[in-house]
């Protein structure tokens, strides 16, 4: 089967600007690797005597460990997505800390952080404080410090905002928390694959990633890295292919957090996605994204009816509203009249919208590595035409 050329795919009669939700198109090698994976019997480490290359879970853990400079590939866990990772970590941490404890988080968080915290608060397990971001979309590390109380045991914070495209200073936050022995979980869903992160240089306890955004894997992939697995209780038991005689779920890594049959094709897509980034270079990807992002912010900032919510995003995430046109309507016009795919609404991050747009939601455009300048210029023209027609 000939594989689609991403540049040809990008010439389809629509312009895809929703990479912050899920990247598209996928690199050809990702599609090839998934096809290869599905074309052969799975090599199940520990469960079958037959091995065919590659052992996707083992090799992908090695790639992740190298990519993020974190020793011990076994501390990389595969999950269904970032949401699954955050649930595993937050609920598992809560189970390890049975006294009512306090958590600090931020108003930039996705519901995959906010909802587990809310559910645990409702059940009387914890209380939490939400630290607001500043008008530039950044959380001042000092405000995290100020929110910490004697009973604070956990801080959960996004590395990159999926609404404002701002990258947070997790290094400074991590240094302070490490000294105070506060468990630090970072949600890297928007940064993994876009921002070079050296986990040997940052004091954090768990780093969450999703596979289907800038790591170019399939939807339904993700995982986390954990420094000390014993700090998080096992919340899901099942088959691991190891220690099958005992009815207690194995405590060793990575089985501790991986029960049941792995998503082999998904992990194969991640394997190929990481190799694609290594081959292309994260710097080249970042440079391309920055050029496109600046083009959008420069052109849209000048329009009288457009309000940008982040004038200088670090990530290719540009959020705005058009005065007089509700965001869902603007998105509908862009998709129907111009065949431009954006994302509108609250982007599953409700708290930040209370600050930036009174909770109405906004339009988000997120170009990716395969987005061309020409596509961005067409999109800018379309957005400006819609804004010209607005009656604020």
Q: Can you give the binding site for ligand PLP, defined by CB under 6 A?
A: 21, 81-83, 110, 112, 158, 162, 187, 189-190, 210, 222
- Nearer to ligand PLP (CB atom), residue 112 or residue 344: 112
HSE toward the beta carbon, residue 171, CA cutoff 13 A? 8
Separation CA 274–CA 390 (nearest Å)? 43
The least distance separating ligand PLP from the CB of residue 160, rounded to whole angstroms, comes to: 7
- Nearer to ligand PLP (CB atom), residue 113 or residue 387: 113
Question: Between the CA of residue 326 and those of 99, 266, 344, what are the distances in Å?
Answer: 45, 37, 10
The least distance separating ligand PLP from the CB of residue 86, rounded to whole angstroms, comes to: 7
Which of left, alpha, beta for 42 (phi over 0: left; psi -120 to 50: alpha)? beta
- Nearer to ligand PLP (CB atom), residue 254 or residue 266: 266
The least distance separating ligand PLP from the CB of residue 189, rounded to whole angstroms, comes to: 4
- Nearer to ligand PLP (CB atom), residue 78 or residue 338: 78
The least distance separating ligand PLP from the CB of residue 315, rounded to whole angstroms, comes to: 10
- Nearer to ligand PLP (CB atom), residue 47 or residue 91: 91
- Nearer to ligand PLP (CB atom), residue 232 or residue 386: 232
Cβ(240)–Cβ(253) under 8 Å? no
Cβ(313)–Cβ(165) under 8 Å? yes
DSSP character for 248? S
The least distance separating ligand PLP from the CB of residue 110, rounded to whole angstroms, comes to: 3
Q: Transcribe 158-170 into DSSP letters.
A: ESB-TTT-PBP-H
Torsion of CA 386, 363, 273, 83, to 10 degrees: -160
The least distance separating ligand PLP from the CB of residue 266, rounded to whole angstroms, comes to: 11
**171-176 LR contacts (CB < 8 Å, sep 24+):** 171/201, 171/202, 171/203, 172/141, 173/139, 173/141, 173/144, 174/202, 174/203, 174/204, 175/203, 176/141, 176/144, 176/145
């Amino acid at each position: 089967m000939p594989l689609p050329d991403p540049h040809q795919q990008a010439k389809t009669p629509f312009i895809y600007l929703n990479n912050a939700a899920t990247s598209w198109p996928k690199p050809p090698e990702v599609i090839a690797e998934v096809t290869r994976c599905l074309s052969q019997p799975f090599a199940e480490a520990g469960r079958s005597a037959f091995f065919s290359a590659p052992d996707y879970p083992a090799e992908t853990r090695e790639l992740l460990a190298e990519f993020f400079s974190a020793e011990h590939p076994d501390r990389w866990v595969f999950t269904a997505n970032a949401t699954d990772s955050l649930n595993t970590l937050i609920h598992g941490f809560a189970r390890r800390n049975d006294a009512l404890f306090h958590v600090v988080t931020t108003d930039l968080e996705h519901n995959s952080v906010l909802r587990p915290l809310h559910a645990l608060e409702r059940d009387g397990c914890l209380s939490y404080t939400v630290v607001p971001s500043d008008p530039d979309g950044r959380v001042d590390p000092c405000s995290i410090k100020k929110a910490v109380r004697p009973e604070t045991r956990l801080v959960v914070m996004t590395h990159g905002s999926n609404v404002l495209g701002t990258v947070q200073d997790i290094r400074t936050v991590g240094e302070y928390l490490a000294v105070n022995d506060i468990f630090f979980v970072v949600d890297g869903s928007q940064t993994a694959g876009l921002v070079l992160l050296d986990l040997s240089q940052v004091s954090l306890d768990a780093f969450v990633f999703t596979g289907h955004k800038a790591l170019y894997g399939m939807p339904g992939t993700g995982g986390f890295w954990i420094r000390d697995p014993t700090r998080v209780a096992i919340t899901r038991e099942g088959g691991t292919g190891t220690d099958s005689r005992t009815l207690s779920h194995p405590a060793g890594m990575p089985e501790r957090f991986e029960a049941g049959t792995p998503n082999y094709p998904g992990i194969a897509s991640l394997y190929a996605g990481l190799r694609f980034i290594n081959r292309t270079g994260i710097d080249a990807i970042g440079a391309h994204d920055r050029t496109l992002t600046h083009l959008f912010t420069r052109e849209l900032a000048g329009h009288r009816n457009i309000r940008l919510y982040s004038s200088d995003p670090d990530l290719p995430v540009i959020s705005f509203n058009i005065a007089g046109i509700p965001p869902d309507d603007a998105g509908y016009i862009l998709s129907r009249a111009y065949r431009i795919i954006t994302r509108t609404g609250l982007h599953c991050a409700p708290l930040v919208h209370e600050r930036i747009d009174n909770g109405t939601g906004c339009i988000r455009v997120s170009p990716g590595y395969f987005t061309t300048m020409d596509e961005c210029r067409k999109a800018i023209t379309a957005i400006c035409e819609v804004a010209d027609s607005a009656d604020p």
